[in-house]
Structure 1
Amino acid sequence: MKPETLERIGMTPGESRIYLALLDLGQSTTGPIVERSGVSTSKTYKILKRLERKGLVSHIIKKNVMHWAAASPKRIVEMLEEKEKEIEERREEAENLIPELMKKIESAREKQQAEVYMGMKGMITVFNDETDYLKKKNAVNHVIGVTSPIRYGKKIHDFFVRLENKKDNLKLKRRFLFSEEARGKWPTIERSKYCKVRYMNYASLVSVNIYGETAFISILSKEPIFFIIKSREIAESFKGYFEELWKGAKD
């Protein structure tokens, strides 16, 4: 057996070499162990004591000289089983902590007035949060400023197609104010029975999403940026702005 094999199951390089040396030597004093393992004398004793604490070696004293012996290799299996049990116990502890930790996160979020996210990963986070809220509260999503998918690029366009399909599957209600140049370009939204769409004579890469007490401004350039504002007053202001634009927009 190579030392690397034992290292893969959690032993250090020194531990694996000394344990294998003891298996070959049988009962031995430290001198032959040092010679066989290639581990320095200064480290060998410390490693032997460490292995002893793990139950992988034992010692006896003969004529005032300490002799060491390797425990059965079955002890390695037992050690792995103990680690598995410990990992399982820690996993259960972590799972029990999750509700409390989530409460802390939510509490911290409530105190935050503004957040900024960037890039596609940030985009995923922002819209996952939005979708989760809409699903939980059965709320209506208001969106100002959707334009032609050509302006956004394929990656962002494909993301929104997947997102809107998901929202349709969840039967989430949405209201959109599109630019005229987007007319007929977003069939996933325009044909959905869960969406209402009107059109404005204005096109921009900047859009506004409103849901609950949250509003966020999206700049959907190659590297998208999202400004999240969590405020009932601001969300209501944006919603009022949406309703005024809605009155003047075309079906």
Structure 2
Amino acid sequence: MREELEQAGLDPKEAQLYLAILALGQPTVAQAAQAAQVSRTNAYDVVRRLTQRGLVTVTEIGPTGERAGRGRGVLRATDPEQFLTEWQARGNVLRELVPRLKAVMSTETSRPRVRYLEGQTGITAALWETLTWGVPLKGILSMMDLLQVPGRQTMEEYIAKRRDLGITLNVVRSPEKETEDLWPSHEQDLRDVRFAPPAHVFTMTMIIGSDSVAVISSRRENFAMMIDSREYAELQSGLFDSLWSASTC
């Protein structure tokens, strides 16, 4: 579990001490440090960082366990849901920050750029980046695979944000990859859906902008690839238009 906590953003000492506090209930700093095999000097600094993140609280208790003006300080872990709250808050900040960073990015070179993003985190980041393109989007979607990764909740959040930004989406899907009656053509959601001929079964998702293309794999390969190239985007846009014409509502 310590490795998972490190992936969630804790360093090794923070992860060890946090797990010790969870297991002990309401230990003192000394007790938690001993259980986590962290020096007491380091433990005070680690506790400070954990409290700043809202993962741990420090409470003064008296000899009977009731609150008192002066007593010994004990540690309590807050609800682990705090990790999700923190992640959502950080995601909101990054979604606002990334477009601003892209706006100041050097444009001295027009060379194409290809980026590989791994795992569910990478796939989610790729999806959200498409909303910074600020143009009507075209998409070839593999619904069955998107419901697995990044998952239905992330897709619902993506759709809501795209709608809020006023970005329209023309999308072609494969009937064979439909698992539920989800996300049909909908004027309020700014979405127009068509279905490809039976011979066309899409195992990947592609979202096309004016200067970039996002390619998203199934859970089996679990990656996203961002291609920043106006010519490539124009090529894929033209191929999409041909598929759109051959598809039905």
Q: Which amino acid aligns with 2:192?
A: K
Q: Distance in 2 between matches of 1:105 and 1:249?
A: 38
- 2:245 matches 1:242: no
Note if contact 1:143-1:176 (Cα within 8 Å) is conserved in structure 2: yes
Deviation at 1:109, TM superposition (A): 9.0
Deviation at 1:196, TM superposition (A): 0.9
Aligned residue number for residue 205 of structure 1: 203
Aligned residue number for residue 138 of structure 2: 142
Note if contact 2:138-2:207 (Cα within 8 Å) is conserved in structure 1: yes
Q: Distance in 1 between matches of 2:210 and 2:229?
A: 9
Deviation at 1:208, TM superposition (A): 1.6
Note if contact 1:152-1:205 (Cα within 8 Å) is conserved in structure 2: no
Q: Distance in 2 between matches of 1:188 and 1:157?
A: 11
Can you list the C-alpha shifts for 1:37-96, whole angstroms capped at 9, x where unaligned? Answer: xxxxxxxxxxxxxxxxxxxxxxxxxxxxxxxxxxxxxxxxxxxxxxxxxxxxxxxxxxxx
Q: Which amino acid aligns with 1:131?
A: L
Aligned residue number for residue 156 of structure 1: 151
Q: Distance in 1 between matches of 2:168 and 2:109?
A: 25
Aligned residue number for residue 192 of structure 2: 196
Unaligned runs of 5+ residues in structure 1 are 9-97
Q: Distance in 2 between matches of 1:108 and 1:116?
A: 22
Unaligned runs of 5+ residues in structure 2 are 1-39, 46-97
Structure 2 residue matching 1:157: 3-state secondary structure: helix
Q: Distance in 2 between matches of 1:169 and 1:184?
A: 26
Deviation at 1:108, TM superposition (A): 8.4
| Cα gap change, 1:237 to 1:154, in 2 (>3 Å) | closer
Q: Distance in 1 between matches of 2:214 and 2:229?
A: 11
- 2:126 matches 1:130: no
Deviation at 1:116, TM superposition (A): 0.7
Equivalent in 166, 189, 194 of residue 171 of structure 1: 166
Structure 1 stretches of at least 4 aligned residues deviating more than 4 Å after TM superposition? 100-112
Deviation at 1:207, TM superposition (A): 2.0
Equivalent in 217, 224, 245 of residue 222 of structure 2: 224
Q: Output the TM-score relative to the length of structure 2.
A: 0.52
- Number of residues of Structure 1 aligned to a counterpart in Structure 2: 155
Q: Which amino acid aligns with 2:138?
A: H
Structure with larger Rg: 1
| Cα gap change, 1:123 to 1:140, in 2 (>3 Å) | same
**Which structure has more helix as a fraction of its residues?**
1
Note if contact 1:152-1:222 (Cα within 8 Å) is conserved in structure 2: no
| Cα gap change, 1:192 to 1:157, in 2 (>3 Å) | farther
Deviation at 1:158, TM superposition (A): 2.9
